Amino acid sequence: MNILNKYSLLELISYALYSGYLLSLQWIGTFFFRLKVIFWNIQIGKSSKVTGKFLFFKYPGSKISIGDNFTSISHSSRAMATSLFSPTCIKTLSDSSEILIGNGVGLNGTSITARSKSIKIGDHVMIAANVTIMDSDFHVVFPPQGRLTNPGYEYDANIEIGENVWIGTRCTILKGVSIGKNSVIAAGSIVSKSIPANVVAGGIPAKVIRALETTKKGSNKK
């Protein structure tokens, strides 16, 4: 079938121009991302692709490492299903903190902050738009008069996200949480307790909704 019989010429031209625009955004974003990686002395693997802004802050002596085939989208023109609130942002705030990101990980306007502990993200994790991950409350809860003056470092806790996890849009992952491999976190959830492997979890706070069963071929049963 002739493509012009299926689509109008104007539609094809518009699509081609917009595709070129997206490629230029990716080229520019990746270029500046690589400059920032050098500036902040960050370990990074091969074949990163970044669209839109990407912010780093690395405290001296801390560690940030990113594996192969990393992708980040921080521009709403490239977002699939929702607008992005802010750039992807990765921060370490003390010399004991570390952020370790595996191979094939995708972030979308994600904020990751390790104040004093470790945040580990396994291979092939997908993180949808506007997700926040942080290892700290940043203030003590009690007594209330001490919230502005007591940072409460002793309450910070590690976070670990297993391989192949899918985290839905606008989720918040709080300190001390582990999420088992292959699990799915529903959109809008707040994960304040650990989630086992191979489940769908969601809600405020997030709880297991159902198990994920896999066939011999590896596809999900519903």
Question: Which residues lie across from 134 on neighbouring strands?
Answer: 113
139 is known as an active-site residue: yes
**Contact, 180 vs 170, CB < 8 A?**
no
The full DSSP string for 38-50 is HHHT-EE-S--EE
Candidates 36, 78, 139, 170; catalytic one: 139
The residues near 185 (Cβ < 8 Å, ≥ 6 apart) are 165, 166, 167, 168, 171, 173, 179, 191, 195, 201, 202, 206
Neighbours of 178 (CB within 10 A): 17
Mind telling me the catalytic residues?
139
